[in-house]
Amino acid sequence: MKSIRTIGVPAALGIAALTAAGCGDSSEPAADNIRVGVVYYDQSDTFLGALTEALREDLAEYKTESRNITMMLRTSEGSQDTQNEQVSELIEAGCNVLCINLVDRSLPSDIIDMASQEELPIIFFNREPVAEDMELWEKTYYVGADARQSGQMQGELAAETILNKDADRNHDGVIQYVVLEGEAGHQDAIVRTESSVETIENEGIVLEKLSYQMANWNRAQAQNRVEQLEAQFTGKIELILANNDDMALGAVDAYEKLNYTENTWPLIFGVDGTDAGLAALQEGKIDGTVYNDKEGQAAAIARLAVAAVTGEGMDEISFDQYHSIYIPYFKITEE
């Protein structure tokens, strides 16, 4: 598209020189030495830790004899102000492209301002800015996944298991459930919960919500919430829908601590397919998860980052909507 429009330098300088414009103190042309600034919201996040490691490997594959690529990684410890400062430092350090996992997805404008002033492409990932913000600077992109799809798949897995296993422990014809929610305001929390519940109900299963608890994608917080819930609802919970695997594993931790066994604790479903999540699935500790394709997302980010800096291959990248790429999820069961 219009990916290399008005940059205000004579066209004769060529793409390499153009893209080097405004990249702090970098002396080499950007296309020969690409510095990729990567920032994610919090170091404790399992899924993003793994995604950014995959990204590091993918970027290395774009190195050639004449082109070096370095990735500079920062984590923002849950503070948008910290992240804004980190982005400013990465720009100072000569980054040619920014890959940003926002702390607060409603507050990308400072970062967009800084990047657009320096004509730097930004690839937001995993925490999606709203459409109006995406349009503030034309070299703004997003790579993520469709939250609704993950909820639907989790719901399908849960419905199938409920219908095949004796999930209705108290035989009242209703499945008593709780939700472990990711984070207030996160697209993957709200939408996953809604669509998971809706999908189960569409299969003709009657649900009763006992509680939903925010556990910030975090295993220890989820464990804590589930211990409290069991103190309140002793043995009544038949199903736990967790917005991610870490929280599903936190539920398992709680039941192990309370001396339940796999057969007596509720059905538990997660999302992500992290290494620990897959291991728990294999051991029968959780009942299903939906693979959040971190390899696919990392590959798309790497490709877009290199194309956005060099201008090469941009035409071949297809977007699902405006400048956004959504990588499909897929279901994983023990089988």
Q: Report the distance separating Cα 26 and Cα 30, nearest Å.
A: 8
Check binding of 105 to ligand GAL (CB under 6 A): no
Q: Which does 172 bind (CB under 5 to 8 A by kind): ligand GAL, Ca ion, none?
A: Ca ion
Give the pair of three-digit tokens for residue 81.
């102000």
Q: Which of 68, 88, 170, 264 binds Ca ion (CB under 5 A)?
A: 170
Q: Say how many residues make up the chain.
A: 335
Residue placing its CB nearer to ligand GAL in the complex, 140 or 292? 292
Query: Of 126 and 176, which has the nearer Cβ to ligand GAL?
Result: 126
* Residue among 183 and 287 whose Cβ is closer to ligand GAL: 183
The angle formed by the CA atoms of residues 48, 77 and 24, to the nearest 5 degrees, is: 85
310 binds, among Ca ion, ligand GAL, none (CB under 5 to 8 A by kind): none
Amino acid at 281: L
Q: What are the C-alpha distances in Å from 138 to residues 46, 80, 122?
A: 31, 22, 9
Whole-angstrom Cα distance, residue 154 to residue 196?
6
d(CA 317, CA 325): 9
Q: Report if residue 203 touches Ca ion, rule: CB under 5 A.
A: no
Contacts of 92 (CB under 8 A, 6+ apart): 24, 25
The rounded Cα 218 to chain-centroid distance in angstroms is 14
Tell me how far apart the alpha carbons of residues 82 and 73 are, in angstroms, rounded to a whole number.
Answer: 14
Whether the Cβ atoms of residue 240 and residue 268 lie closer than 8 Å to each other: yes
CB of 204: closest distance to Ca ion in angstroms?
15
Q: Which partner in ligand GAL, Ca ion, none is near 92 (CB below 5 to 8 A by kind)?
A: none
By CB under 5 A, residue 172 contacts Ca ion: yes
- Of the candidates 146, 156, 272, 293, which one interacts with ligand GAL according to CB under 6 A? 272
Give the residue, chosen from 39, 47, 215, 326, that forms a contact with ligand GAL under the rule CB under 6 A. 47
Structure tokens at 32: 């020969």
DSSP 8-state code for residue 286 = S
Per CB under 6 A, the segment of 44-52, 55-63, 84-92, 224-232 that binds ligand GAL is 44-52
**Choosing among ligand GAL, Ca ion, none, which partner's interface includes residue 112 (Cβ < 5 to 8 Å by kind)?**
none
Per CB under 6 A, does 271 bind ligand GAL?
yes
Q: Please report, as ranges, the residues that interact with Ca ion according to CB under 5 A.
A: 168, 170, 172, 174
Residues that bind ligand GAL (CB under 6 A): 45, 47-48, 126-127, 188, 217, 244, 271-272, 292
